[in-house]
């Protein structure tokens, strides 16, 4: 089965957080795809952790390298932007988060996210509830 993963899952591959074990099992068991945006979002999250003294800069760099090696395929985002925008408007969430769902719909795959707020919004919409799964801790 193909799953689309977002940054909330990818960061759990390299950081010890609630749900890290589940995220790593997912990486072992599934064919993963992600929009290229995943790398930018992860790089920014890692930088923020460095800024707040939660992560060493060298470890941050190593984490990003590990994330880059994980997804089976990174997909360009240009062809998914319009769909992401429409989803964002429908469920009142960011276009960034909605991009992952747009890719899942286009790939006929399931988005796996650890973002409970986004999952709640998407799961409440009948058109999207079958295309998304919340990562369990």
Q: What distance in Å separates the CA atoms of residue 15 and residue 13, rounded to the nearest whole number?
A: 6
Q: Tell whether pTM > 0.85.
A: yes
Count up the domains in the chain and report the number.
1
Q: Which two tokens stand for residue 79?
A: 């062809």
DSSP state of 79: G
CB atoms within 10 A of CB 21: 13
Looking up residue 38, the CATH number of its domain turns out to be 3.40.50.1010
Tens place of pLDDT per residue across the chain (137 aa): 899 999 999 999 999 999 999 999 998 888 999 999 999 999 999 999 999 999 999 999 999 999 999 877 999 999 999 999 999 999 999 999 999 999 999 999 999 999 999 999 999 999 999 999 999 87
What is the β-pairing status of strands 110-113 and 2-5? parallel
Residue span of the structural domain in which 12 resides: 2-134
Burial class (CB in 10 A: 0-12, 13-18, 19+), 73: exposed
């Amino acid at each position: 089965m193909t799953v689309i993963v977002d940054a909330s899952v990818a960061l759990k591959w390299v950081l010890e957080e609630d749900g890290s074990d589940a995220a790593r099992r997912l990486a072992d068991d599934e064919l993963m795809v992600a929009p290229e945006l995943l790398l930018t979002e992860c790089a920014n999250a890692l930088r923020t952790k460095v800024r707040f003294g939660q992560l060493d800069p060298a470890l941050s760099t190593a984490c990003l390298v590990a994330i880059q090696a994980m997804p089976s395929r990174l997909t360009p985002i240009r062809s998914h932007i319009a769909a992401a925008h429409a989803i964002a408007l429908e469920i009142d969430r960011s276009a960034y988060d909605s991009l992952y769902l747009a890719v899942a719909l286009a790939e006929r795959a399931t988005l796996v996210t650890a973002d409970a707020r986004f999952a709640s919004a998407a799961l409440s919409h009948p058109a999207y509830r079958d295309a998304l799964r919340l990562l369990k801790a």
